[in-house]
Amino acid sequence: SSLQLHSSVDTHAHFAQHTFSRRGVEVSAMGAAQCKAGTCREAIRSNCEGNGDAIEQGSCEVVDIANLQARDAQGGTSPKAAVKRRAPFDVELVRTGVHWRTLGLLVSPDDNPKFLVVDDIWEPSLISEWNEKNTEARQVRQGDVITAVNDQRCGGEAMLEMIQSSGKNQTLKLRIE
């Protein structure tokens, strides 16, 4: 799929292999070699449509350098660097009570399909009840990684299926890292 970039070259850096289309000709630009001695701006200009928007095919990562520099100047750190790693722990839930149907986790496969990443936690739910009863070190948080379900490390899709197929009065054990 194509992606149109509507950003100035001064405030964004692109860290991936790029394939630009210009009048039916594909040109590849990659990494620092393309940006030596000011050639980066020229390459972007020459590979843009008339309105200045780069037409890009394939995936890329866009990093807002101006935002990062401003945050660093204020003494900030990246969100991942600010999070301290905790010791792995197990969450054991029994699907009973008022919220037995609502586990309360929105999960997705991470960059690694072997795991599930906690994207969000809903309240009220079994997980929110777990969090209320446990210390901060044993609370499930956004960004946590589920590495096993019922002591089985079987990949993100299989773990998701195990979670979804658990029924009323069943115990669900999640390994959180």
Whether residue 88 is found in the same domain as residue 172: yes
Total-model pTM: 0.54
User: What is the domain-level CATH number for residue 141?
Assistant: 2.30.42.10
Q: Based on the fold, state whether residues 64 and 99 are members of the same structural domain.
A: no
- Is there a domain that residue 78 lies in? no
Per residue in 83-128, pLDDT (tens digit) is: 568 999 999 999 999 999 999 999 998 778 999 999 999 999 999 9
Cα three-residue angle 103-108-111, rounded to 5 degrees = 150
Which H or E element spans position 128?
helix 126-133
Domain count, the chain: 2
Last residue in a domain, options 73, 94, 109: 73
Please indicate, yes or no, if residue 34 is contained in any of the structural domains.
yes
The per-residue pLDDT for range 31-68, each reduced to its tens digit, is 444 444 554 445 445 544 454 454 444 444 555 555 55
Query: What percent of the chain is modeled with pLDDT above 90?
Result: 50
Assigned domain for 79 exists: no
> What is the distance, to the nearest Å, from the Cα of residue 84 to the centroid of all Cα atoms in its chain?
17
Contact 119, 106 (CB under 8 A): yes
Instruction: Please say which residue of 38, 73, 108 terminates a domain.
Output: 73
Residues 167 and 102 in one domain: yes
Q: Residue 49 belongs to what domain range?
A: 2-73
Look at 79 and 153; give whichever has higher pLDDT: 153
